[in-house]
A and B are shown apart, each in its own frame.
Chain A
């Protein structure tokens, strides 16, 4: 039994969690995303970097099944071990995936949170959506998660409207992680935060990712974020992936002229 479990674990991390194959998306004559292929493994953090308009956000929406691709497909290995093409999932299945095995952290917390309901209910919503029906347990789990993202439990009944930007972002993360997803999409999670708050958030994210063995696809234009969080980097320009590799390798020794430009445009510390 124990051996079998170990074998399964081996298989688990050997197989990719999410595979994109020649994904493309065009809006009329504008190609927002062209021929993107990669595989993401469990526990791996992949950063997609590039300037505005390079197709990062479109790619993220394609990967998370929110946009239909014009070409190519995305497949995902579900919790039962079966790999399925996202396009063939029914809407109910897709939405279920979205609130259980996936997380999505928006740049603007107002998009990912219910601003008018309390922090506890924000965290508890996913649990209630999968059938939790015990107030005490929902609340305990919610306070537990608030502690983990360094929010004072005394503020559990306050609405996120009354929270600071950094707290809102941490609350959004707690709300996403409460169902223990295996894959989290992040769209510029540190955008709009000041530098010290950013640093704290990145620190928190890094420890949570390691602790929970999360796979993350993070879209950012901030190379510092990519360097701190990610194992691998994909550089996008004009809808194409122009360079990909290990984060240190790409950022320390960029091959493409555009990547060199990106890296050199960071102010030296």
Chain B
């Protein structure tokens, strides 16, 4: 269904041009936060207004859109944004990572490796990695300009001093193309290595903060660390309870009030794909039956 009251993909063409210019600049200077004239969107801040504007600006009629929220295709946020573009742009949507050309994401990078014909659009709440270390925006901009990033290590130092290891688990700072330190949006640090040398274009949109930044395809992205405390991706030490995957990022789901819990892939498409391919986890339903509940036994 195509709503005639809106321009294609909701935003008017002038706005899209403005956003595209910001995107081009962001791609030209990997990791640099480009200011843009963020618009009011028909959704609250914090729901992905930045990501939605970037998606709207790059979407073409032949694109296939996938939207994920915390790895899942079927949460409110993901469904709403998918429906929004199905309605205002009439584009095809999918939940399969491989089939999508544009993937808008909140807090995760899909487990399936991305390819060259894809664009990953991140929703970013706070684009400034130095925000909670240096409150003055004028000062942080200067620090980026002069590549003064000692302060970023102060944060990591504090982590080790307090917890014995780098306890930052998400929004883990990275250095892009050996120049700009960047906040990868609140993705778990498990996903950081996927950003490095990725064949897909990665775009970051922060609506409230009015910033766009980018990682062009095949760009080096290095997670900051200390020589004696190297970066380590974190993952619960368990296989997925539904598909048995040993290398995917897991959500912890509390199943009762007696300490019962299960670990499942946070990437629902990846998990379903594996189940369809016949992989089974400890809590999978018996194959080819409509029983929904697995027992508590493993």
Contact = CB atoms under 8 A, between A and B. Distances in A.
Given A133-B227, A134-B228, A135-B229, A114 B161 contact: no
B246 interface: no
B150 A125 contact: yes
A130 B150 contact: yes
Nearest to A93: B146
B13 interface: no
Nearest to A127: B150
A212 B125 CA distance: 47
Contacts of B231: none
A121 B226 contact: no
Contact of A128 (B142, B157, B160, B229): B157
B3 interface: no
B161 A121 contact: yes
B148 A135 contact: no
Contacts of A118: 158, 161-162
A136 B230 CA distance: 12
Interface residues of B, number: 16
Contacts, number: 52
Contacts of A189: none
A120 B148 contact: no
Contact of B160 (A95, A125, A135): A135
A176 B162 CA distance: 23
A157 B161 contact: yes
Interface string A207-243: 0000000000000000000000000000000000000
Nearest to A157: B161
A117 B158 contact: yes
Specify which of B142, B150, B151, B228 lies most central, judged by the most chain A CB atoms within 10 Å of its CB.
Answer: B150
Interface in B122-170: 142, 146, 148, 150-151, 153-154, 157-158, 160-162
B162 A114 contact: no
A126 interface: yes
B153 A133 contact: yes
B282 to A, nearest CB: 39
Interface string A85-111: 000000110010001000000000000
Main SS at interface, chain B: helix
B146 A135 contact: no
B226 A135 contact: yes
Contacts of A95: 146, 148
Given A121-B161, A124-B157, A135 B151 contact: no
Contacts of A92: 146
Contacts of A124: 154, 157
A171 to B, nearest CB: 15
Given A133-B227, A135-B226, A121 B158 contact: yes
Contacts of B158: 117-118, 121
Interface in A143-177: 156-157
Specify which of A124, A125, A135, A136 lies most central, judged by the most chain B CB atoms within 10 Å of its CB.
Answer: A135
A139 B229 CA distance: 13
Contacts of B228: 134-136
Interface string A233-266: 0000000000000000000000000000000000
B150 A91 contact: no
Contacts of A126: 150
Interface in B33-58: none
A92 B157 CA distance: 24
Given A120-B157, A121-B157, A134 B226 contact: yes
A128 to B, nearest CB: 4
A120 B150 contact: no
Contacts of B157: 120-121, 124, 128, 135, 138
B162 A157 contact: yes
Given A95-B148, A126-B150, A135-B160, 8 more contacts: A91-B146, A114-B154, A121-B158, A125-B154, A128-B157, A130-B150, A134-B228, A135-B226
Q: Top 9 closest A-B pairs, CB basis?
A: A129-B150, A128-B153, A128-B150, A135-B226, A134-B227, A92-B146, A121-B157, A121-B154, A157-B161
